């Protein structure tokens, strides 16, 4: 049996088409090796960690290859803005930490830190207030933190 050779132009066109599709088709299969490091960096207690996560969240499409789960139910069954304190963003980052550490099989070792980062985020919200309002915010933040520390599993 005689083998036929494909015309070089046809081979070049087919190769170009395959390479054009590669980033989209292969993105899920080729998760960057530094994913655990990025996840760890975005879930620390510091304000810089929160800022890095927030910036990434605003530009999620830049992080598609990492396959992060950005979904959130915010503060679950608790108010997102209890007594007018804007806790939704802290709850979203907490969800991000829980969901992605679970998916990576890293959750049990990270849970305490994720809960502490949540409390740090809430405390930063409360730092905007003064007097009795700050005291109310701090008390509410402590209650939210204790709830996830004791019951947080999702």
Query: Where in the sequence numbering do the catalytic residues fall?
Result: 94
DSSP string spanning 7-63?
A: PHHHHHHHHHHHHHHHHHHHTTT---TTHHHHHHHTTSSSHHHHHHHHHHHHTGGGG
CA distances for 117 relative to 21, 27, 79, 130, angstroms: 39, 30, 19, 22
Angle at 51 between CA 129 and CA 140, to 5 degrees: 35
């Amino acid at each position: 049996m005689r083998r036929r050779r494909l015309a070089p132009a046809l081979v070049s066109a087919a190769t170009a088409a395959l390479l054009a599709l590669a980033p989209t088709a292969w993105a899920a299969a080729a998760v960057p090796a530094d994913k655990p490091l990025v996840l760890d960096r975005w879930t620390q207690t510091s304000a810089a960690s929160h800022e890095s996560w927030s910036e990434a969240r605003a530009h999620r499409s830049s992080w598609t290859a990492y396959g992060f789960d950005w979904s959130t139910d915010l503060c679950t069954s608790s108010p997102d803005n209890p007594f007018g304190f804007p806790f939704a963003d802290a709850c979203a980052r907490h969800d991000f930490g829980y969901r992605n550490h679970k998916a990576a099989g890293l959750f049990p070792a990270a849970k305490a830190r994720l809960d502490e980062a949540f409390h740090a985020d809430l405390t930063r919200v409360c730092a905007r207030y003064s007097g009795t309002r700050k005291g109310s915010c701090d008390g509410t933040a402590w209650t939210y933190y204790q709830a996830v520390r004791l019951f947080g599993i999702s």
